[in-house]
């Protein structure tokens, strides 16, 4: 009994100790609880469960005390000693976290993986996988980290740190610069775990991710979210810093500056103050406040030698360069290069020096500095240096070297759009000055295609100049017209180029306009006299010869050098001549020969003197001056035309034998020139004028026999047939053309010979021979103009014989053979007439409508309208007819207009609208009086109108007017008959 009591007492003591320790633990008195739990865990006499629990709580007490090493030892001993304990799952989890916090990541993973293995359905599986992912992330093992974090996300039911999991995987994506995925996972926290303490941090990170994506608008949107205010001071600073930089990247310097200034007013570490001051200085630099920027950069440069201090020294030099203080800038650049020769900015400092020297036209010093700068590993610095070297060489007219520098720059600057464009422009200019105009054009065109707004005026100017040099003046004008510069020098050159482009295109009205503008604006320019000279030439081109002559005269008075310009002097003489000042022109042409006796324009001047007399019908003086040309300039290329002109002058004086003699001089002395044909024509007309056509034939026959190898012999021999045909000796013509075909079977005139044989046969009513000849032409030469003429003649023969299907077939074949010929409207019109004659009116309608629709503006389109109107009149569709006819009567003043006006009268007469009919016929008499057929027919119809009105007196006057005008014509007979009826 005593023994039992003692045992019970001891047990109660142990129970009270465990309960006491547990109370201490719950009251956070972990040191005391640890001591009791530790002691209890080593006593063998207490029950096993309490001993196990004491071991577990001893470990937890140390953990709460932050004794990580002791806690880990206790937990390790616990899981080894009591593998079946209910606390094993939690112990493994806590041990894993302990090792994680101690950065013993491998051990941490082992415990978490053991937990997952031993407790596959644990409600801590997802969280354990999260910690495994975090441990890999801490070791930068991103692939493994991503695998376990993604797994932890799928196990959200057993993951009480799901928000942390999303945050961790988002950070992983940030680390590997996959910012889109990072944003996506940070967004999960904001969308589904907005109350998480990580939500403001996720908001911050999203803003920073957008910043890194260069999506600054979204960065600003995210970094100004109200939740940012829930961040701690450090993170708030980071948010504002990135916000300011986002504004900076968007060139919103005002907002960026405001944030920097706000941050600088806060209590900051020295390092943060430097960072912010540097940013603020950069803003001032970007907003052209170079002196203010310099003061901050200069202060930072002397405050420290860290990266900010070093960079600030460089940028202080840049500030001085931009403010125009080149001396101080160079001193700072030199100081920078001396102090930090291996710094990446050293080459940029060399570039800065080179830029300063370049702006001061110190080419040699600039080149020295720039050549050092191109050794830079920084692509932008190297690219800029190469580009400026190219520009330097351009200025010095060393175009081959400038081209090479620009090419080198282009090879490395494709990622810098502005610099690449600048080098492209320089390369194009180099190619232009090297006369590689095609390459220059390609460069400029590619530059415009890539960025049409880059140096648009300069690019288009050189592109225009390149096209101008290539004589593509339409293209040069296109690009001159795009230029809208404020640069006066460029505007002057553009205006000059534009004027010359119009001049070279022979668009003299526009050339006059622009040369006039140039002369008006740049009176004292070195090129003004040249512009005046071209202005005079342009006036000459638009036949304002008086204006041209006055400008030439003024130029000769004030610019003595032009007096030695034979071309200008010749144009002056021509202007006088064309202006009708013949006597002055003759005088100046003679003066030109005295001033420039060896000029290539001396003999043309003498020829024009003869030509002036010829135009004045003073043929004797013309002959005298033409003979003077032959005497003074015996080697002139104008001798043949002078002889020809002498022949023409004698012809006009009716001295035919003398004319033949001079025409014959061309045949004898200049048989190889084209004037031989004119000479033969002259001899032909002279013999015909003497009523000796047979002599012309004999002359041609003898010439061909004497000159069998002349390249013009076939053309001359062909004229024998022409002479017979003109004399209406058609049988002889057939014989001559047939003889030509046999003598010159390879001549290009063979189709013409067969054609004229056909024409001659038709005139002799030898229709079979005519048809045969025209068919020969059509079969072999249908795609030529003479082939179409033959088809027309053949169709006329068939139509006259009323064989309309054959006529239509010939015309259709010709149309199909040459669908693009300008004679297709004529062929269609003839087809339409043949269709009317064959009573195929529906087809005729379609044909005439085709002409009107597709060949508007041609004479056959207007004729087709008359034919359609006539058909409508026959069908009594007067309104349709009037629509067609009124347009022609109002717009045309030729015979077609007269016919249309007459038909309008006929329509009103048919409608018994006599007053309107009279008005229409009177309009024919008033406006179309020169077209006798319609004038006379109108008089006859006016008589009929007055008969209808019972105005017999007026009717008699109209009929008598017809009789008086055409006494023996059918119209006169008709008028007589009607007069007798009255």
Q: What is the pLDDT of residue 551?
A: 83
What's the average model confidence in pLDDT over 896-925? 90
Residue 726: pLDDT above 60?
yes
Residue 290 host element (H or E)? helix 290-303
Q: What is the pLDDT of residue 723?
A: 86
What's the average model confidence in pLDDT over 159-166? 95
Reading the block at residue 906, the tokens are 């006929």
Q: What is the pLDDT of residue 852?
A: 86
Give the count of beta carbons closer than 10 Å to the beta carbon of residue 4.
8
Q: What is the pLDDT of residue 350?
A: 79
Please check whether residue 697 is in contact with residue 722, taking contact to mean a CB–CB distance below 8 angstroms: no
Q: What is the pLDDT of residue 454?
A: 92
The CA-CA-CA angle for residues 558, 563, 565, to 5°, reads 125
Residues in the chain: 982
Residue 7: pLDDT above 50?
no
pLDDT tens across 176-205, in order?
999 999 999 999 999 999 999 999 999 999
Question: Of 775 and 571, which is predicted with more confidence?
Answer: 775
Question: Of 474 and 357, which is predicted with more confidence?
Answer: 474
Please check whether residue 454 is in contact with residue 425, taking contact to mean a CB–CB distance below 8 angstroms: yes
DSSP state string for 917-959: HHHHHHHHHHH-TT-HHHHHHHHHHHHHHHHHTT-HHHHHHHH
C-alpha–C-alpha distance, residues 937 and 863, integer Å: 19
Q: Which residue has the tokens 């047979």?
A: 694
Residue 12: pLDDT above 50?
no
The alpha carbon dihedral of 927, 931, 937, 940 has a sign of positive
Residue 839: exposed, middle, or buried by beta-carbon count in 10 A (0-12, 13-18, 19+)?
Answer: exposed
Reading the block at residue 942, the tokens are 């006016």
In this prediction, residue 560 has a pLDDT band, given cuts at 50, 70 and 90, of low
In this prediction, residue 891 has a pLDDT band, given cuts at 50, 70 and 90, of confident
Question: Coil, strand or helix: which one is 711?
Answer: coil
Please check whether residue 526 is in contact with residue 539, taking contact to mean a CB–CB distance below 8 angstroms: no
Burial letters 74-99, b for 16+ CB under 10 A, else e = bbbebbeebeebebbbbbbbbbbbbb
Q: What is the pLDDT of residue 559?
A: 67
Please check whether residue 49 is in contact with residue 37, taking contact to mean a CB–CB distance below 8 angstroms: no
- The lowest-confidence range among 261-270, 496-505, 606-615 is 261-270
Q: Which of 44, 45, 48 is nearest to 84 (CA)?
A: 48
Q: Count the helix, strand and coil residues of the chain and give each as a percent rounded to the nearest 5.
A: 80, 0, 20
Residue 245: pLDDT above 70?
yes
In this prediction, residue 213 has a pLDDT band, given cuts at 50, 70 and 90, of very high
Torsion of CA 666, 670, 676, 681, to 10 degrees: 10
Please check whether residue 61 is in contact with residue 25, taking contact to mean a CB–CB distance below 8 angstroms: yes
Q: Which of 319, 366, 314 is nearest to 341 (CA)?
A: 314
Radius of gyration of the CA atoms of the chain, in A: 54
Question: Coil, strand or helix: which one is 304?
Answer: coil
Q: Which residue has the tokens 């043929």?
A: 619
DSSP 894: S
Residue 821: pLDDT above 50?
yes
Residue 242: pLDDT above 80?
yes
C-alpha–C-alpha distance, residues 580 and 455, integer Å: 50
What's the average model confidence in pLDDT over 618-647? 92
pLDDT tens across 856-865, in order?
878 888 888 8
pLDDT tens across 305-351, in order?
888 888 888 888 889 888 888 888 888 888 888 888 888 887 878 78
C-alpha–C-alpha distance, residues 212 and 174, integer Å: 9
Reading the block at residue 25, the tokens are 């633990």
Task: Find the largest Cα–Cα distance for the chain.
Answer: 183
Q: What is the pLDDT of residue 8?
A: 36
pLDDT tens across 353-405, in order?
778 878 878 888 888 888 887 877 888 888 888 998 888 989 999 999 999 99
C-alpha–C-alpha distance, residues 521 and 722, integer Å: 61
pLDDT tens across 38-90, in order?
888 888 778 888 888 888 898 888 888 888 888 888 888 898 888 888 888 89
C-alpha–C-alpha distance, residues 700 and 714, integer Å: 11
Q: Mean pLDDT over all residues of the chain? A: 88
Q: What is the pLDDT of residue 10?
A: 46
Sequence-distant (6+) residues with CB within 8 A of 107 are 99
The alpha carbon dihedral of 546, 551, 557, 562 has a sign of negative
pLDDT tens across 417-446, in order?
999 999 999 999 999 999 999 999 999 999
Residue 621 host element (H or E)? helix 619-632
Sequence-distant (6+) residues with CB within 8 A of 836 are 844, 867, 871
What's the average model confidence in pLDDT over 131-138? 95
Please check whether residue 611 is in contact with residue 603, taking contact to mean a CB–CB distance below 8 angstroms: no
Alpha helices (H) along 451-596: 456-469, 473-480, 488-504, 508-521, 528-541, 545-558, 566-578, 582-595
C-alpha–C-alpha distance, residues 715 and 848, integer Å: 39
pLDDT tens across 88-134, in order?
889 899 999 999 999 999 999 999 999 999 999 999 999 999 999 99
Please check whether residue 371 is in contact with residue 401, taking contact to mean a CB–CB distance below 8 angstroms: no
Residue 499: pLDDT above 70?
yes
C-alpha–C-alpha distance, residues 587 and 761, integer Å: 56
In this prediction, residue 548 has a pLDDT band, given cuts at 50, 70 and 90, of confident
Residue 9: pLDDT above 70?
no
Residue 379 host element (H or E)? helix 379-395
C-alpha–C-alpha distance, residues 565 and 595, integer Å: 10
Q: What is the pLDDT of residue 562?
A: 64
Sequence-distant (6+) residues with CB within 8 A of 702 are none
Question: Coil, strand or helix: which one is 68?
Answer: helix
C-alpha–C-alpha distance, residues 836 and 12, integer Å: 139
Give residue 31's Cα distance to chain centre.
Answer: 85
Give the count of beta carbons closer than 10 Å to the beta carbon of residue 22.
17
Reading the block at residue 684, the tokens are 């032909």
Residue 891 host element (H or E)? helix 878-891
């Amino acid at each position: 009994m005593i023994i039992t009591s003692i045992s019970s007492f001891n047990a109660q003591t142990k129970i009270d100790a465990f309960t006491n320790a547990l109370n201490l633990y719950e009251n956070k008195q972990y040191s005391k609880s640890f001591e009791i739990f530790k002691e209890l865990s080593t006593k063998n006499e207490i029950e096993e469960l309490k001993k196990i629990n004491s071991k577990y709580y001893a470990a937890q007490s140390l953990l709460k005390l932050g004794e990580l090493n002791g806690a880990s030892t206790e937990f390790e001993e616990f899981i080894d000693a009591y593998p079946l304990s209910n606390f094993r799952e939690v112990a493994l989890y806590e041990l894993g976290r302990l090792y994680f916090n101690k950065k013993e990541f491998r051990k941490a993973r082992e415990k978490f993986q053991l937990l997952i293995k031993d407790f596959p359905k644990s409600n801590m599986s997802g969280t354990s996988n999260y910690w495994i992912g975090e441990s890999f992330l801490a070791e930068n093992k991103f692939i493994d980290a991503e695998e376990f974090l993604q797994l932890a996300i799928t196990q959200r039911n057993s993951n009480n740190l799901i928000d942390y999991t999303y945050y961790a995987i988002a950070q992983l994506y940030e680390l590997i610069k996959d910012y889109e995925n990072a944003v996506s996972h940070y967004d999960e926290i904001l969308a589904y775990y907005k109350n998480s303490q990580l939500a403001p941090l996720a908001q911050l990170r999203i803003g920073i991710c957008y910043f890194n994506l260069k999506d600054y608008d979204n960065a600003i949107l995210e970094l100004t979210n109200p939740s940012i205010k829930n961040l701690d001071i450090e993170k708030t600073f980071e948010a504002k810093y990135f916000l300011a930089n986002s504004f900076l990247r968007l060139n919103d310097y005002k907002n960026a500056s405001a944030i920097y200034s706000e941050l600088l007013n806060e209590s900051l570490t020295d390092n943060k103050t430097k960072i912010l001051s540097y940013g603020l200085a950069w803003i001032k630099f970007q907003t052209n406040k170079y002196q203010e920027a310099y003061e901050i950069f200069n202060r930072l440069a002397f405050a420290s030698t860290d990266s900010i201090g070093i960079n600030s020294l460089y940028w202080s030099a840049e500030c001085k360069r931009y403010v125009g203080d080149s001396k101080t800038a160079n001193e700072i650049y030199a100081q920078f290069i001396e102090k930090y020769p291996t710094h990446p900015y050293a080459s940029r400092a060399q570039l800065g020096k080179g830029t300063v020297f370049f702006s001061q036209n110190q080419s040699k010093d600039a080149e020295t500095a720039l050549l050092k700068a191109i050794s830079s590993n920084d692509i932008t610095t190297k690219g800029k240096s190469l580009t400026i070297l190219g520009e330097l060489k351009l200025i010095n007219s060393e175009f081959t070297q400038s081209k090479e520098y620009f090419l080198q720059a282009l090879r490395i600057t494709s990622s810098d759009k502005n610099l690449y464009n600048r080098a492209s422009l320089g390369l194009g200019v180099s190619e232009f000055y090297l006369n590689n105009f095609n390459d220059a054009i390609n460069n400029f065109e590619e530059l415009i295609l890539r960025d049409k707004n880059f140096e648009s005026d300069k690019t288009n100017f050189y592109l225009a100049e390149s096209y101008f040099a290539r004589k593509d003046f339409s293209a040069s004008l296109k690009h001159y017209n795009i230029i809208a510069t404020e640069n006066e020098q460029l505007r002057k050159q553009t205006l000059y180029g534009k004027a010359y482009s119009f001049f070279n295109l022979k668009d003299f009205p526009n050339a006059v306009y622009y040369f006039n503008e140039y002369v008006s604006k740049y009176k004292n320019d070195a090129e003004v006299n040249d512009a005046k000279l071209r202005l005079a030439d342009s006036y000459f081109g638009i036949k304002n010869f008086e204006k041209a002559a006055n400008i030439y005269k003024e130029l000769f008075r004030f610019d003595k050098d032009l007096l030695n310009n034979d071309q200008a002097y010749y144009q002056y003489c021509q202007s006088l001549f064309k202006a009708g000042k013949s006597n002055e022109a003759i005088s100046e042409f003679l003066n030109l020969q005295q001033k420039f006796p060896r000029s290539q324009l001396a003999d043309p001047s003498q020829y024009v003197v003869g030509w002036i007399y010829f135009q004045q019908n003073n043929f004797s003086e013309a002959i005298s001056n033409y003979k003077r040309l032959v005497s003074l300039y015996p080697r002139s290329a104008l001798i043949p035309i002078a002889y020809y002109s002498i022949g023409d002058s004698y012809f006009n004086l009716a001295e035919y034998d003398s004319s033949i003699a001079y025409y014959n001089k061309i045949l004898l002395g200049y048989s190889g020139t084209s004037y031989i044909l004119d000479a033969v024509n002259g001899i032909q007309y002279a013999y015909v004028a003497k009523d000796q056509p047979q002599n012309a034939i004999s002359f041609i026959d003898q010439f061909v026999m004497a000159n069998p190898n002349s390249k013009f012999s076939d053309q001359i021999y062909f004229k024998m047939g022409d002479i017979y045909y003109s004399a209406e000796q058609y049988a002889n013509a057939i014989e001559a053309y047939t003889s030509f075909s046999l003598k010159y079977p390879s001549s290009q005139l063979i189709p013409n010979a067969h054609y004229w044989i056909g024409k001659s046969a038709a005139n002799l009513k030898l229709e079979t021979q005519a048809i045969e000849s025209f068919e020969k032409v059509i079969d072999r030469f249908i795609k030529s103009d003479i082939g179409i003429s033959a088809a027309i003649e053949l169709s006329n023969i068939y139509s006259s014989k009323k064989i309309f299907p054959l006529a239509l077939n010939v015309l259709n074949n010709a149309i199909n053979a040459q669908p693009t010929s300008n004679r297709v409207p004529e062929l269609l019109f003839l087809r339409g007439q043949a269709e009317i004659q064959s009573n195929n009116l529906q087809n005729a309608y379609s044909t005439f409508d085709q002409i009107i629709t597709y060949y508007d503006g041609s004479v056959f389109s207007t004729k087709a309208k008359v034919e359609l109107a006539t058909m409508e009149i026959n069908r009594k569709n007067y309104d349709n007819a009037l629509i067609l006819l009124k347009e022609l009567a109002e717009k045309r003043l030729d015979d077609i207009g007269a016919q249309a006006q007459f038909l309008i009268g006929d329509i009103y007469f048919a409608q018994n609208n006599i007053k309107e009919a009279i008005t229409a016929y009177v309009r024919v008499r008033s406006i179309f009086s020169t077209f006798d057929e319609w004038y006379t027919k109108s008089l006859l119809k006016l008589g009929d109108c007055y008969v209808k009105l019972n105005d017999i007196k007026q009717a008699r006057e109209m009929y008598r007017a017809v009789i008086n005008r055409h006494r023996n014509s059918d119209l006169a007979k008709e008028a007589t008959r009607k007069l007798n009826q009255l």
